[in-house]
Amino acid sequence: MKETDEQINVIMQGAEFGDPQTKETMTRELRERLKKGRPLRVYCGYDATKPDLHLGHTVTMRKLKQFQDFGHEVTFLIGDFTTRVGDPSDKDKLRPQLNLDIIEENARTYAEQAFKILDPERTKVRYNSEWLDKLTLADALRLASSFTTQQFLARDNFQKRVAKNDPIWLHEFFYALLQGYDAVALETDVQLGATEQLFNLLAGRKLQESFGQRPQICITFPILLGTDGHMRMSKSTGNYIGITEPPEDMYGKVMSIPDIAMNNYFNLVTRWTPEEISRIEADMESGKAHPMDIKKKLAWEITDYYHGTEAADASAKHFERVHQERKLPEDIPQFVVDKPVAVPDLLLAAGLSKSKSDGRRLIQQGGVKLDGKPVESVDFVVNPGEMVLQVGKRRFVQLVRQK
pLDDT in tens, 299-324: 999 999 999 999 999 999 988 887 77
Strand partners, 398: 334, 388
Separation of alpha carbons 104 and 143, rounded Å:
26
Q: Which of 165-179, 183-197, 284-298 has the lowest mean pLDDT?
A: 165-179
Do the beta carbons of residue 219 and residue 43 sit within 8 Å? no
Separation of alpha carbons 48 and 279, rounded Å:
38
Note the pTM of the prediction, 2 decimals.
Answer: 0.76
Q: What confidence category does residue 24 fall into, taking pLDDT thresholds of 50, 70 and 90?
A: very high
Q: Please name which of 258, 228, 230 lies closest in space to residue 241, comparing C-alpha atoms.
A: 228
Q: To 10 degrees, what angle do helices 198-210 and 170-186 make?
A: 60
Res. 174: pLDDT tops 70: yes
pLDDT of residue 178: 93
Q: Please name which of 217, 213, 197, 251 lies closest in space to residue 42, comparing C-alpha atoms.
A: 217
Give residue-wise pLDDT tens across range 100-113: 777 777 777 888 88
Count CB atoms within 10 A of the CB of residue 80: 24
Positive/negative CA dihedral, 92, 94, 96, 100: positive
* DSSP classification of residue 260: G
* DSSP classification of residue 27: H
Domains, in order of start, for the chain? 4-221 (3.40.50.620), 247-324 (1.10.240.10), 334-400 (3.10.290.10)
pLDDT of residue 1: 63
Q: Which residue has the higher pLDDT, 173 or 2?
A: 173
Res. 328: pLDDT tops 70: no
pLDDT of residue 96: 58
Q: To 10 degrees, what angle do helices 291-307 and 274-286 make?
A: 150
Q: What is the mean pLDDT of the chain?
A: 87
Q: Which residue has the higher pLDDT, 35 or 52?
A: 35
Q: Which residue has the higher pLDDT, 15 or 332?
A: 15
Average pLDDT, integer, range 19-34: 94
Do the beta carbons of residue 220 and residue 15 sit within 8 Å? yes
Average pLDDT, integer, range 368-380: 82
Q: What confidence category does residue 92 fall into, taking pLDDT thresholds of 50, 70 and 90?
A: very low
Q: Which residue has the higher pLDDT, 143 or 238?
A: 143
